[in-house]
Amino acid sequence: MSAQPATNTMHADVLIIGSGAGGATTATVLAEAGFDVLVVEEGDWVEQGSVVPFSLDQMDRQYRAGGVTVALGLPSIAYTEGRCAGGGTEVNSGLYWRPPGDVLERWRDQFRIDDFDPDDLLAIAAEVEHEISVGPVPGPYSEPSEVLRRGADALGWRNGEIPRWMTYPKGAPATAGERQSMTRTYLPRAMRAGARIATGCRVDRLEAQGGKAVRAITTLADGSPGVITFRHVFVCGGAIQSPALLQRSGIRGHIGRSLAVHPTVKLAARFADPINVPDDVPVHQVKEFAPHLSFGGSASNPGLVALNLLDQWPTFKRAVTDWQHISVYYAAITSEGRGRVFSVPRLRDPIVTYGLTGRDRELLRSGMARLTLLMLEAGALEVFPSFKGAPIVRNRKDVATMQRSFAATKASVMTVHLCSTVPMGEDTDRCGADSFGRVHGQSNVYVNDASLLPTAPGVNPQASVMAFAIRNARHFVATGGNRA
């Protein structure tokens, strides 16, 4: 079961723009309730297994702009967006974090989200976990994952395995797992209920008539124009593309003004024995300093190892030939800074900016130092921090030297978690959508993706996105979609 190419003229009772964690779950709820649902996706449907994870081929086929996108600032922050059926669920690590209860309570109170019960959200999360097969890795952990556990245990730092949304063939190793992404779970379920999925369709803007959005102006994969008419529209293109589309459609308000991310710095660590697993990531994370600071492991194929050595290539380049003994790790912070998304006339993609606070910069410095110490305690022979002018770290004295020379403006800061550009709630001074995702000032335009999360949750946001989207879609069904 897969999608069909988009055509120049289409119609649906409910149009859903985007097929990731928000769009796929929304489509399932609405289709199973009997709505005529059309999901349009700018990218292609790429079957799992047809591309090598974390490869250049995957970057080209499943990421926007080949994975090379950046939020401007000092420093600039590189970020990635999925651009394919299933969105970011097809390309992420598959690690699953429930939305933290204290964060849900804070969002409810500070942003005035009506009828928002954290227990109800967690009950929906339990449904999602069953649907996408969230669970622990069978059998032994990979060596890169053991590094995190071993180093944290030596320091007395809290750590543990993060479950994944994977299924594993009986008796097979963890590397044989199959990610239960949206193309394996919610999108096929939506199609079984009658939803249509059309790929290769970019929505350029929404047009209104009589105070209601009534059509989407599109560009198909071959460059030809198209139009989709609808009664209701759910914008689920992610925290960058959703506000950009709304802005292109003349919908402003609190749209795109409060981008929140988890800024991340990285290092490469070399060990005496082979450690590299090029097509998977560690399942352990270190949460001793959460929610402000967390440590984990990244994809570490040879190209990505080289990329992490690039900032100080003159002194780090010799290590790349020993890539089998190297793995890449990260320190991620919950940022106080914020960014903006600007749709600019005649530019296809929006301009994105982000500003770190002084506290954010110091936390990144502390994170790099603590992560380096973690690697040494796990037995690393050498650590290669990813920033310009970084020294090779071989002992604790070198850690102090490295920390003094670190500056966020010299580091390759990146993120894979983007949210909060159309925050939900009844506080219209800071929220772009109401308590169930309807855009303020609009009668039939909804957002139902990571844009709605009021702030960065401090963990991978996709579980929160799916729970929010299902909650909001069920409310739409319960009210008959009768606002329009």
Could you read off the pLDDT of 449-459 as tens digits, one per residue? 999 999 999 99
Predicted pLDDT at 63: 86
CATH superfamily of 4-45+86-132+181-255+421-478: FAD/NAD(P)-binding domain (3.50.50.60)
- Evaluated on CA atoms 174, 177, 179, 180, the torsion sign reads negative
What does CATH list as the number for 140-177+263-415? 3.30.410
Q: Let me know: does 356 contact 409? Beta carbons within 8 Å.
A: no
Nearest Cα neighbor of 21 from 453, 454, 477, 448 is: 448
Q: Which residue has the tokens 């770190």?
A: 356
Predicted pLDDT at 57: 85
Nearest Cα neighbor of 232 from 393, 379, 438 is: 438
Q: Which CA distances in Å does 253 have to 225, 342, 343, 421, 431? A: 28, 13, 13, 11, 9
List active site positions: 417
Q: Exposure of 34 by Cβ count < 10 A (0-12 exposed, 13-18 middle, 19+ buried)?
A: exposed
Predicted pLDDT at 1: 61
Which residues of the chain form CATH 3.30.410? 140-177+263-415
Predicted pLDDT at 483: 44
Instruction: Provide the total of helices (H) and of strands (E) in the chain, helices listed first.
Output: 12, 24
- Evaluated on CA atoms 327, 382, 80, 297, the torsion sign reads positive
Which residues of the chain form CATH 3.50.50.60? 4-45+86-132+181-255+421-478
Predicted pLDDT at 82: 92
Q: Give residue-wise pLDDT tens across range 41-95.
A: 999 999 988 888 777 888 889 889 888 899 999 999 999 999 999 999 998 888 9
Query: pLDDT averaged over consecutive 10-residue blocks of the chain (484 residues)?
Result: 82 98 98 98 91 82 87 94 94 88 95 96 96 91 96 98 91 79 97 97 96 96 96 98 98 95 98 93 95 95 93 96 97 97 92 97 98 98 97 97 97 95 96 98 97 95 96 96 55
